[in-house]
Amino acid sequence: MKYTKVKITDVVDGRSESPLPLEVIPNYMGINLCSVDSIEWIEHEDTQIEKLTINFIPNMEKKPKQTAVEWYENQLHKVFNNTTDASNLSHEELLKQAKQMEKEQIKDAWIHGDNSDCLSEQDSSDFAEQYYNETFNTKEK
């Protein structure tokens, strides 16, 4: 038996091989390749695969994120109660910050929910920006 572990980026770049066609992971397993770190498997001498493991990139964020609306609501409470430096900011400035936060959260959700075979973080970010602009950019509509 032979144990093999390869980085997904090495498989995509052709430096390593995968025991199954790479497109099987997103297309048949529904796993976003952007979230895959590596693939490992045990192969018998007759080339049968005994065990295949897909290792994900760990998510270091432990606490739930605050939505842009929740952040905006908290800022408004602080302003009305005069408990923050945010009282120096106009409601328009706070709303502008909340909208920017919402845009980033939508782009992050697109990146983490994308089931295409994008692997480059830059590509994912560019596609997320394009998705946001096409879907939510109301200035051009």
* Distance separating alpha carbons of residues 115 and 111, to the nearest angstrom: 9
pTM of the predicted structure, to 2 decimals: 0.47
Q: In what order do the strands lie in the sheet with 2-7?
A: 2-7, 36-43, 49-56
Q: Which domain holds residue 19?
A: 2-56
Instruction: Tell me: do 46 and 78 sit in the same domain.
Output: no
Which domain-ending residue is among 11, 29, 56? 56
* Distance separating alpha carbons of residues 98 and 115, to the nearest angstrom: 28
- Give me the pLDDT at residue 39, please: 95
Instruction: Tell me: do 52 and 88 sit in the same domain.
Output: no
Which is higher by pLDDT, 17 or 130?
A: 17
Q: Answer for the pair 99, 72: CB distance below 8 angstroms, yes or no.
A: no
Report the chain's mean pLDDT, rounded to a whole number: 80
Number of domains forming the structure of the chain: 2
- Give me the pLDDT at residue 140, please: 47
pLDDT band at 130 (very low <50, low <70, confident <90, very high): confident
Arithmetic mean of pLDDT, 53-75: 79
Domain membership of residue 42 (yes or no) is yes
pLDDT in tens, 3-37: 999 999 899 888 999 999 988 888 888 888 878 89
Domain membership of residue 61 (yes or no) is no
Instruction: Tell me: do 49 and 80 sit in the same domain.
Output: no
